[in-house]
Amino acid sequence: MKPPPRAEEAQAAGATPSLALPATLTHREASACLRALEQKLDQVAAPQIVVDASALAAFDTSALAVLLECRREALARGKSFAVKNLPAALGGMSKLYGVDVLLPAA
């Protein structure tokens, strides 16, 4: 199976690049994950930031915190923000906490 294109390759092809979440995103991984996403945000020239959550298998509410902070950083850079492949359980959690409208689907 061919790996997904890197952000730079997707931009060159005219597609909206996506930033991928790891398979596990709990309190333990949250800070490192957020730092990595923030570094990648600076490399995206596209007007929209899309975070791909398809790999996410183990998570807690820290995953929501990371997504919300990533959204805040994207908006601060003048970019729109969306999430694709959000696991149903995390989507349910976002509705429970009333933040689902801040994490639109791509």
16/23: higher pLDDT? 23
Topology of the domain comprising 20-102: Transcription Regulator spoIIAA (3.30.750)
Pairing of strands 18-20, 48-52: parallel
**pLDDT 10s digits, 46-105:** 999 999 999 999 999 999 999 999 999 999 999 999 999 999 999 999 999 999 999 999
Nearest of 75, 70, 67 to residue 100 by alpha carbon:
67
CB distance 43 to 8 below 8 Å: yes
Give the residue extent of every domain in the chain: 20-102
